[in-house]
Amino acid sequence: MGLLKGKVALITGGSRGIGESIVLKYAQEGADIAFTYVSSEEKAQAVVKKAEAFGVKVVAYKSNAANYTESEALINTVVNDFGKIDILINNAGITKDTLMLRMSEEQWDQVIEINLKSVFNLTKHVLKPMMKQKSGSIINMSSVVGVFGNAGQANYAASKAGIIGFSKSIAKEVGSRNIRCNAIAPGFIETDMTHVLTDEQKKAYTDNIPLKRLGAGDDVANACVYLGSDMSVYITGQVLSVCGGLNI
Ligand code: NAP
């Protein structure tokens, strides 16, 4: 359909799961794509091949989103390689689930650094080129857990709630420069992150979802197409839930 034709997107964590779905959907819609990974070199190259089949430019970069200096270097490299960045999708994230009484300082710090500080790192450095070109769309991957909380995920919920406050603040700071910033709050999406759950646990979640199924990466990727495209030019500072109605 070409909804993203002529646009350049940078997507963190594009080697697997939701990030891979976003890369492929964006390629299908005509965007040129830079995406990152930290360890899945082979998977990343396989995603590049699949996405290139849509006739767009795709490059995978090994870059730790939690690292401030690496993130600055990444933005500079992508602007150099692609000429601009129209859309930034802060998708990279991890879980280190456990109850509060058992949670170590390391489990807290890792989740906050990879899920939340990464959003600061990439946004901070992409704003300069976006301000120069007087346009941009930033999409941050939050979670329904950031809105409602979840036992055993205090670190993860705090990081995802932080992303919502961050996104709304950035929307207010840079709206006058024609830069938009929104968050997406997925519900339960089938990826490596959720494969650790037993069938019984999955059934219990499904029973509570009005649409009676778990989500797919493509469900989230479609929302990313909308928020990255010019279809959403008057939408900023919002949280779009992609959760099958789990939050109603
Ligand atoms: P996933 O399947 O575990 O994939 C995670 C991706 O993030 C991989 O590409 C991984 O790269 C990358 N990554 C991890 N740490 C990174 C770092 N420090 N720097 C750069 N990239 C890094 O996860 P997912 O389920 O697709 O989740 C994607 C996002 O959606 C996350 O922010 C997650 O919190 C959010 N989310 C997921 C769900 C769900 O149900 N799955 C629900 C709500 C929100 P490597 O392959 O190299 O490790």
- Would you place residue 248 in the very low, low, confident or very high pLDDT band (cuts 50, 70, 90)? confident
192-239 pLDDT, tens digit each: 888 888 899 899 989 999 999 999 999 999 999 999 999 999 999 999
* pTM higher than 0.95: yes
For the chain, where are the E strands, in sequence order?
Answer: 8-11, 32-37, 58-62, 87-90, 136-141, 179-186, 239-242
Q: How many CB atoms lie within 10 A of CB 161?
A: 18
Question: What is the 90 CA–ligand 1 centroid distance (Å)?
Answer: 10
Q: How many CB atoms lie within 10 A of CB 19?
A: 28
Cα 161 to Cα 78, 122, 156, 211, distances in angstroms: 28, 18, 9, 24
9 touches 26 (CB < 8 A): yes
Beta-carbon contacts of residue 222 (< 8 Å; ≥ 6 apart): 25
- Would you place residue 147 in the very low, low, confident or very high pLDDT band (cuts 50, 70, 90)? very high
Residue of 22, 35, 36, 38 best suited for mutating to test ligand 1, as the one with most atoms within 8 Å of CB: 38
User: Which of 240, 186, 243 lies closest to 209 in space, CA to CA?
Assistant: 243
In the sheet that holds 136-141, the strands lie side by side as 58-62, 32-37, 8-11, 87-90, 136-141, 179-186, 239-242
- What is the average per-residue pLDDT within 129-152? 98
Residue 1 has pLDDT above 90, yes or no: no
- What is the average per-residue pLDDT within 158-162? 99
Tokens of 223: 């929302």
- What is the average per-residue pLDDT within 100-108? 98
What integer pLDDT is reported at residue 195 of this predicted model? 86
- What is the average per-residue pLDDT within 87-115? 98
User: Which of 58, 49, 11 lies closest to 30 in space, CA to CA?
Assistant: 58
- Would you place residue 91 in the very low, low, confident or very high pLDDT band (cuts 50, 70, 90)? very high
Dihedral Cα 147, 92, 12, 194, nearest 10 deg: -100
Q: Which atom of ligand 1 is nearest to the CA of 67?
A: 18
The helix (H) or strand (E) run that includes residue 81 is helix 68-82
What integer pLDDT is reported at residue 245 of this predicted model? 97
Q: Pick the catalytic residue: 26, 156, 205, 226?
A: 156
Residue of 10, 15, 18 best suited for mutating to test ligand 1, as the one with most atoms within 8 Å of CB: 18
CATH class of 8-242: alpha beta
User: To the nearest whole number, what is the mean pLDDT of the chain?
Assistant: 97
Question: What is the 85 CA–ligand 1 centroid distance (Å)?
Answer: 21
33 touches 11 (CB < 8 A): yes
CA 59/CA 48 separation, integer angstroms: 7
What integer pLDDT is reported at residue 93 of this predicted model? 98
- What is the average per-residue pLDDT within 145-172? 98
Q: Which atom of ligand 1 is nearest to the CA of 92?
A: 7
What are the residue boundaries of the structural domains of the chain, listed by start?
A: 8-242
- Would you place residue 177 in the very low, low, confident or very high pLDDT band (cuts 50, 70, 90)? very high
